[in-house]
Amino acid sequence: AVQRRGYHEKVLDHYNNPRNVGSFQKGDQDVGTGLVGAPACGDVMKLQIRVNKDNGRIDDVVFKTFGCGSAIASSSYLTELVRGMTLEEAGKIKNTDVAKELCLPPVKLHCSMLAEDAIKSAISNYYTKNPNSRATDLSGT
């Protein structure tokens, strides 16, 4: 695809039109919240998932990122990626999946790492709040 000044057009698109910006009530039982920071630069990403108890899939997902363009693009893309996934599927996403899709240069890999950390942290927060859902997940598949 087209490269523009070193940034892939998908980065620019997600940066200019970030998808699913927002937040859910942290206290909601169905919501898992991940809040992570990048030691390298101090950027911060908050990612929240809302899980459908009936099928164990991510029904809705929002983010807020206080960070660079690549971090915003990574979180925006991640929200599109995980919607509809089971928690197990979403937990397997690697930052390299995000970096590859957005064609991030090596110096920006840690920005996509924020996205991987954020979804993992949101999932584990959800499991902490809903300790029984893990068993349901396994028996359901």
Catalytic residues: 41, 111
Considering the rule CB under 6 A, would residue 111 count as an interface residue with ligand FES?
A: yes
Which H helix or E strand runs over 44?
strand 44-52
Cβ distance to ligand FES smaller for residue 70 or 86: 70
Cβ distance to ligand FES smaller for residue 10 or 134: 10
Considering the rule CB under 6 A, would residue 116 count as an interface residue with ligand FES?
A: no
Number of Cα atoms under 13 Å in the Cβ half of residue 14:
27
Nearest one of 85, 77, 87 to 115, comparing CA atoms: 77
DSSP 86: B
Site for ligand FES in 2-61 (CB under 6 A): 38, 40-41, 43
- Distance separating alpha carbons of residues 34 and 122, to the nearest angstrom: 4
Pick the stretch among 64-72, 78-86, 119-127, 130-138 that binds ligand FES (CB under 6 A).
64-72
Please state, as a whole number, how many other Cβ atoms lie within 10 Å of the Cβ of residue 4: 10
List residues near ligand FES by CB under 6 A: 38, 40-41, 43, 67-71, 110-111, 114
